[in-house]
Amino acid sequence: MSRQEKIRKAVRWGTVALVAVVVTLLVEPLLPMSQQQRERNIVSVEERHCFVLEANGNPVLYIQNLLSDWADWPLSVEGDSAACHTDTIEGCWADRFYGLPSCRGRVVIPDMSYAVDSVLRSVNANIKSFVEHQHSVMRRQEKKYTAMNEELDYYLEANNVTDEGYNTIATYATYVVKYKRRLAQALHVLDSLLPTDSLVLRRVCHNTVLLPVMDEQKRSSTPMQASDGQKLSSASAQSYIRIPCHDDASRSSLISSLSSLLSSRGYYRRIQTDDRKTPRGVCADFFARPQLDTAAYKAYAVRRDFPAFVYEGQTTNGQREGHGIFIDRLGNYYNGMWTGGQRNGFGSAIDSTGKVRVGEWKDDRFLGQRLTYTEERIYGIDISRYQHDIGKKHYAIDWSKVRISHLGTISKKRVSGTVDYPVSFCFIKATEGITIRNNYFAADYAAARRKGIRVGCYHFFSTKSSAAEQARFFIQHARFNRGDMPPVLDVEPTDAQIRAMGGPEAMFNRIRTWMKAVEKHCGQRPILYVGQNFVNKYLGYAPDIKRDYQVWIARYGEYKPDVRLAFWQLCPDGRVNGIVGTVDINVFNGYRDQYDDFLERYTIK
């Protein structure tokens, strides 16, 4: 064989080999992947996304949700991390060029931004009115959470860690404080926007490849972090290596562009790992596309409304049973025990208005908070002539022995330790109506002060006398020395007496007259003493009194009154060393720090 023939033969075989390679390169990508290759081609991608409001090209507010009320979702003015929502989606490793191993960390994922483009265009076309609407919603939410914060503060000031349910409320209060701060910051941003500002909303997205860690790598891998910075559980923390990604802006080949067009172009986008490396052991494919749920895709990130309610806890036969946490879209929250789908047993609840209820429940109805009585609480008594005159006999009070020894038997009480409590305060009846005086008032007042007990005086309100004359009579015969407790108006009318006065409005006008006159004289706002039934039936007629004056409530049940108060008269049949007969026992609504603050703010100056 001549040299030329050898060359021609080599060229022919070379051409055949080249054609075979080309054919292989063209045909091999068209062959379906095996199950193993498919598993190695699929990759999990964590997508963190939110929306950003820009003013004149500068980001001013980050929002997690686009169309729902922004106030219902995380907001941030400090960066998108606090507002981002995290989803895990399916992606596929993909080569850039047809037939060539050209992945370089390239991943194809569903293009969720494409799903909301039309919605963003619609919103941005009416951006001014859209932002104004969100601003008004956030203002209403601010008022709601301000009221809730006040209720939580009241509860936390009146209780401490020894009270059952305190930690649950303290945790929720921390959340409310953080939420209010974020809401205030967002409102400040919206308040500062000018009519001339150019506003636009756009979507922000961060992708991270979650690469499964091989068994031999688990011991040395660094635990992955959740989106909020918290470490994940040890089981999942050692399951993935996190590889940050960026959008792949490289120019595709003609064939790649055609492939994208034929594969529902617009429903997918390309990302690439920051290190531009394809991990070992994966299988890249030019035609790889993740499965796409078209319905879910189109609804993605457009609206994520709260469900009607969320429940996390124990169930039996589909009903809430045992311990569980419930929250609905109105903001009602409950953390406690359930029986047959209803709240039963101990639980902590906060309703949509911010009202805090911690205590015992029965058949979905709140019974009340059952206190544990300990020596840490602040106790006191209130007395009148009935602590001296019992039947036809007269008794003196031995103030050197005065000490609470029993909390009465009318209701059940949970006592820790032995009842042997000092008397920290004492309210003494001074007058009633415009003619009745307590003949023992002066002596008891002086003796209690010498004993070191904080003393206050009270007036029993008459429904038949002028309120102004009653105030003058009380001022004339009571005592208002520096350090004394605020004066008290004792109001205990029957329903018939209130009707005879002209109804609740007329009654409260008289109460206001008495309160203002006494306050003007002694320089301190009086306390209103009423019963629980009075609170339930009538106090709502006078929101200003409920708001501006402290309340002392008589309630002899086993549960603490479900209303803001300064003192609670918990029993009329207590026992006090040094006093013959039964005595009204009272407890201050709080502990030592709150009591010291009360004395500093409200005693006679």
Which one of 382, 432, 490, 562 is the catalytic residue?
382
Q: Is 519 a catalytic residue?
A: no
Q: Is 492 a catalytic residue?
A: yes
With b for 16 or more beta-carbon neighbours within 10 A and e for fewer, the 29-42 pattern comes to beeeeeeeeeebbe
Q: How many Cβ atoms from other residues are within 10 Å of residue 181's Cβ?
A: 10
Retrieve residue 218's tokens.
């688990």
Q: CB neighbours of 510 closer than 8 A, spacing ≥ 6?
A: 461, 467, 501
What are the DSSP calls for 158-178, one per residue? H--TTSTTHHHHHHHHHHHHH
Q: Which residues lie below 8 Å from residue 591, measured CB to CB, with a gap of 6+? A: 160, 376, 377, 378
Residue carrying the six token digits 């004149």: 56
Question: Cβ distance 426 to 603 under 8 Å?
Answer: no
Beta strands in 6-144 (DSSP E): 42-55, 58-63, 75-76, 85-93, 106-110
H helices present in 159-233, as ranges: 166-192
3-state DSSP assignment of residue 41: helix
* Helices then strands, each counted (H, E), the chain: 15, 28
Tell me the two tokens of residue 496: 């018939």
Among left, alpha and beta (phi > 0; psi -120 to 50; other), residue 517 is alpha
Phi, psi angles (nearest 5°) of residue 566: -95, -45
Task: Please state, in angstroms and as integers, the Cα–Cα distance from residue 474 to each residue in 68, 485, 531, following that order.
Answer: 59, 15, 21
335 in the Ramachandran plot: left (φ > 0), alpha (ψ -120 to 50) or beta? beta
Q: Round to whole Å and give the CA distance between 455 and 442.
A: 11
**Contacts of residue 411, Cβ cutoff 8 Å, sequence gap at least 6:** 556, 557, 558, 570, 571
> How far apart (Å, rounded) are the C-alpha atoms in residues 22 and 316?
65
Residue 98: both structure tokens together:
């047809």
User: Which residues are the active-site residues?
Assistant: 382, 492
